[in-house]
């Protein structure tokens, strides 16, 4: 199992970098980001990088988290321990970022004044990028009973969740209720969680039929990607995200994550020191980069006149400083529970 875990370390290391690149706009922008011209959009290389590579990061982290959790014996004790672990992350990092950006007045500004407002604020982790932790807690809750179901019922439930995910963008367009397909909606990650449980419980059988599983997942990913770019584009998706296609309400991401995960379970994969370091601080990179990226981008824009060079220099500096801060904070200030 050690070699397979090393494969997962590669995945964590790479996907944490993808998160930073996405948040800093390193994938470029096509007309899909223009509310006035998105109807003229033609699929570009930047679309592939943004929506089929960089946006794999969050679904992959959900998949890996649930896979590792359910790969070991699950009990009420382990469930409680995992829940507390994620809850600490959910309360600490949004609070820290909100205070960092707006002081205590920022905390007062996000206080909800209704039940619906409370739900929205909670799901969005106080309107921060840490909605991931809210979704992960929900995925943890739904995975707990799912583990105990018989395999044929699990497959049926998983299939229904995938079908719902496929048609959810259409429901969003029909109702005009953009939250149904918002990037922070936990429904996006329910099929990912079910898939992770199925893989963890049947990994030996899947690895024995790796080529077949890989081919099926790739074919489904391509087919669903074509379907999504044809039918899941609309103006209703712009609020809250700024582009005309849902970020995560796309089943193609599920099967691309599944395909990548099968590949990294290769027993021959061994992580070197650099990858192990990056994997160790992958969570820290995710949590720390929002504190740094705006200031670093402003600083490099003054020093470097070329916008493209300044952008990618900013990305590299943000990653480097995040790793550096992670080491310092983990050693001298923050407990391990909020860093790794």
CA dist., res. 252 & res. 52, Å (int): 8
- State how far the Cα of 245 lies from the Cα of 263, in Å rounded to an integer: 28
Predicted local confidence at residue 333, as pLDDT: 58
What value does the mean pLDDT take over residues 40-59? 96
Apex CA 321: angle with CA 319 and CA 326, to 5°? 95
Q: What is the pLDDT of residue 4?
A: 53
pLDDT beyond 70 at 319: yes
pLDDT band at 2 (very low <50, low <70, confident <90, very high): very low
Using only C-alpha atoms, the chain has a radius of gyration, in whole angstroms, of 20
Q: What is the pLDDT of residue 330?
A: 76
Mean pLDDT taken over the chain: 92
Q: Which of 161, 220, 167, 168 has its CA nearest to residue 194?
A: 161
The secondary structure of the chain in percent helix, strand, coil, rounded to multiples of 5, reads: 80, 0, 20
Q: Burial level of 50, CB count in 10 A (0-12/13-18/19+)?
A: buried
Q: Decide if 254 contacts 191 (C-beta within 8 A).
A: yes
């Amino acid at each position: 199992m050690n070699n397979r875990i090393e494969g997962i370390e590669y995945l964590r290391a790479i996907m944490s970098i993808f998160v930073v690149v996405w948040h800093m706009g390193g994938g470029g922008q096509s007309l899909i980001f223009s509310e006035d011209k998105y109807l003229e959009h033609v699929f570009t290389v930047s679309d592939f990088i943004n929506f089929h590579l960089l946006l794999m990061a969050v679904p992959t982290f959900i998949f890996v988290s649930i896979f590792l959790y359910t790969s070991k014996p699950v009990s009420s004790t382990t469930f409680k321990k995992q829940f507390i672990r994620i809850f600490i992350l959910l309360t600490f990092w949004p609070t820290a970022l909100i205070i960092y950006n707006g002081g205590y007045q920022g905390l007062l500004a996000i206080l909800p004044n209704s039940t619906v407002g409370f739900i929205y604020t909670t799901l969005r982790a106080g309107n921060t990028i840490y909605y991931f932790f809210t979704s992960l807690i929900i995925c943890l809750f739904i995975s707990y009973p799912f583990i105990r179901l018989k395999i044929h019922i699990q497959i049926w439930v998983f299939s229904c969740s995938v079908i719902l995910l496929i048609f959810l963008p259409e429901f969003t367009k029909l109702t005009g209720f953009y939250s149904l397909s918002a990037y922070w909606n936990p429904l996006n990650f329910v099929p990912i969680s079910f898939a992770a449980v199925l893989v963890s419980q049947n990994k030996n059988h899947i690895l024995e039929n790796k080529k077949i599983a890989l081919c099926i997942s790739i074919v489904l990913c391509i087919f669903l990607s074509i379907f999504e770019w044809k039918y899941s584009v609309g103006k209703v998706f712009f609020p809250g995200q700024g582009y005309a296609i849902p970020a995560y309400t796309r089943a193609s991401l599920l099967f691309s994550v599944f395909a990548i995960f099968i590949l990294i379970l290769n027993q021959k994969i061994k992580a070197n020191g650099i990858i192990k370091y990056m994997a160790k601080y992958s969570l820290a990179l995710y949590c720390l980069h929002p504190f740094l990226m705006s200031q670093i981008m402003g600083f490099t824009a003054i020093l470097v006149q070329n916008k493209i060079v300044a952008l990618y220099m900013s990305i590299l500096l943000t990653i480097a400083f995040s790793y550096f801060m992670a080491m310092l904070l983990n050693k001298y200030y923050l407990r391990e529970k909020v860093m790794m």
